[in-house]
Amino acid sequence: MREETFFFQWRFMAFGLIFLFLLPQAFTYDTPPINPCYAHAPFLPPIANPRLLKAYAALQAWKFTITSDPNGFTSNWCGPHVCNYTGVYCAPALDNPYVLTVAGIDLNHANIAGYLPIELGLLTDLALFHINSNRFQGQLPKTLKCLELLHELDVSNNKLSGEFPSVIFSLPSLKFLDIRFNEFQGDVPDQLFDLNLDALFINDNKFQFRLPKNIGNSPVSVLVLANIDLQGSCVPPSFYKMGKTLHELIISNSQITGCLNREIGILNQLTVFDVSYNNLVGSLPETIGDMKSLEQLNIAHNKFSGYIPESICRLPSLENFTYSYNFFSGEPPACLRLQEFDDRRNCLPSRPMQRSPAEC
């Protein structure tokens, strides 16, 4: 509550200072230029556009929290012309094309260290926020809920921590969510899979949860759940409801168990299917041969057995089929004619680098 109160005090002060600075300008023509080039300006400059004034307040507050910027990305974040700041992109406001506003921030691969201040909630016209491959710590501020136009949120490859950032559920326009390669931990709310997202990356965090029954409600085209602990989940039946939208699915090294059902073939829009490094058992369903768009298939490091269906190796778009480190006992010649394949460490007769008879 204290955090949100402080945030709205900022908003009130920003709007109030618009009149404080602009009223004298209405009666004078010789106002000296103001260019407060400080890490955190002690006052707000006379910016006629209220939206850019709020953006100035937000960006100066953010710069104040930055502890390291070795490549100088924010070195020109000073003065009132925020649209000239590196990584800051302005565009006409959606509700008023005659008003310029900050619509995007892109600081990817900047190697910046610091925190994300609550004043970022002042950027209410922001549609894109990309800060991947930096060293930001802490949590996503709850004031991001004010970014009702935010379409893409990419905070991947940082040092963000804490529980799953629930502020995400307050972003009605969000379509692209990437929080991978951070230090988030704990449960992932089932509610995540009810969001109207197009792409979802939560891999390489410290999450621990079971795949929920409502996972099939997600309309995503790309879903990556790799390198997290799914606590021995089986693939829920509702998963196959994603057949019309899902194009890439990666659930590698995530502790999933059980077998792949015949219904897996319903996911016939997939181009990438990776369930490697898990504890899946049984035989491969022949219905995988119905995935006519499949280009990359990786089922390595599981406990699959039996004969590989020929229909899989005859898929028209299949470029790479990796099925090493399983217990397959037969493979059709079509598999050996693929552009790339890996059949090592199975129980395949007459093939090199197989398991010993004792293991098979």
d(CA 77, CA 74): 5
Q: Which one of 155, 186, 217 terminates a domain? A: 186
Question: Is there a domain that residue 7 lies in?
Answer: no
Residues 6+ apart with CB under 8 A from 257: 232, 233, 234, 278, 279, 280, 281
Confidence of residue 22 (pLDDT cuts 50, 70, 90): very low
**Based on the number of CB atoms within 10 Å of its own CB, is 344 exposed (0-12), middle (13-18) or buried (19 or more)?**
middle
Contact (Cβ atoms closer than 8 angstroms) between residue 94 and residue 85: no
Residues 64 and 132 in one domain: yes
**Please, are residues 140 and 165 in contact by the beta-carbon 8 Å criterion?**
yes
pLDDT for 262: 92
Residue 198 within any structural domain of the chain:
yes
Rounded to whole angstroms, how far apart are CA atoms 359 and 357?
5
Q: Which position has the higher pLDDT, 150 or 32? A: 150
The answer to whether position 128 is within a domain reads yes
Domain boundary, last residue among 162, 186, 210: 186
Query: In the prediction, which pLDDT does 44 show?
Result: 64
Say yes or no: 216 and 121 in one domain.
no
- Tell me whether residue 10 is in a domain: no
Last residue of a domain, one of 157, 186, 215: 186
Asked whether the predicted pLDDT for residue 25 surpasses 70, the reply is no
Q: Give the up-direction half-sphere exposure of residue 28: CA atoms within 13 A in the CB hemisphere.
A: 9
pLDDT digits (tens, 9 = 90+) for 94-118: 999 999 999 999 999 999 999 999 9
Question: What's the confidence (pLDDT) of residue 235?
Answer: 85
| Domains of the chain: total | 2
CB 15 within 8 A of CB 50: yes
**Mean pLDDT of the chain, nearest integer:** 89
- The answer to whether residues 336 and 195 belong to one domain is yes
> Does residue 208 sit in the same domain as residue 180?
no
Range of the domain at 74: 47-186
Structure confidence at residue 86 (pLDDT): 98
Distance CA 263, CA 250 (A): 18
When comparing pLDDT for 204 and 42, which is higher? 204
pLDDT digits 0-9 by tens, 294-328: 999 999 999 999 999 999 999 999 999 999 999 99
Whether residue 27 is predicted with pLDDT greater than 80 in this model: the reply is no
CA distances from 283 to 108, 133, 185, 258, 268 (A): 43, 40, 34, 11, 19
Residue 31, domain member (yes or no): no
Q: How far apart (Å, rounded) are the C-alpha atoms in residues 302 and 312?
A: 18
180 and 205 belong to one structural domain: no
Amino acid at 214: N
In a domain, 169, yes or no: yes
20 assigned to some structural domain: no
Nearest Cα to Cα of residue 326 among 275, 290, 288:
275
- CATH number (domain holding residue 97): 3.80.10.10
- The whole-angstrom separation of Cα 264 and Cα 243 is 9
My answer on whether 333 and 277 are in the same domain is yes
Q: Kindly list the distances between the CA atom of residue 44 and the CA atoms of 30, 115, 117, 144, in Å, as whole numbers in the listed order.
A: 19, 22, 17, 22
Q: Are 242 and 265 in contact (CB under 8 A)?
A: no
192 shares its domain with 182: no
How high is the pLDDT of residue 6? 43
Confidence band, pLDDT 50/70/90 cuts, at residue 8: very low
Calculate what percentage of the chain has a pLDDT beyond 70: 88
Same domain? For 156 and 274 the reply is no
Q: Are 255 and 229 in contact (CB under 8 A)?
A: yes
Query: For 214-238, what is the mean pLDDT?
Result: 94
Count H helices and E strands in the chain, helices first.
3, 21
DSSP β-bridge partners for residue 274: 250, 298
Least confident of 23-37, 43-57, 259-273, 301-315: 23-37
Strand partners, 114: 136
Q: Which residue has the higher pLDDT, 29 or 96?
A: 96
> Does any domain span residue 62?
yes
Question: Is there a single domain that holds both residue 207 and residue 353?
Answer: yes
Q: Are residues 275 and 195 both part of a single domain?
A: yes
Structure tokens at 232: 């021995």
- Distance of alpha carbon 198 from alpha carbon 194, whole angstroms: 12
| pLDDT reading at 49 higher than 60 | yes
Tokens standing for 252?
């590698």
Residues in the chain: 360
Structure tokens at 194: 């009810």
pLDDT in tens, 58-84: 999 999 999 999 999 999 999 999 999
Same domain flag for 76 and 173: yes
Indicate if 222 and 144 belong to the same structural domain.
no
Residue 161, beta-bridge partner list: 183
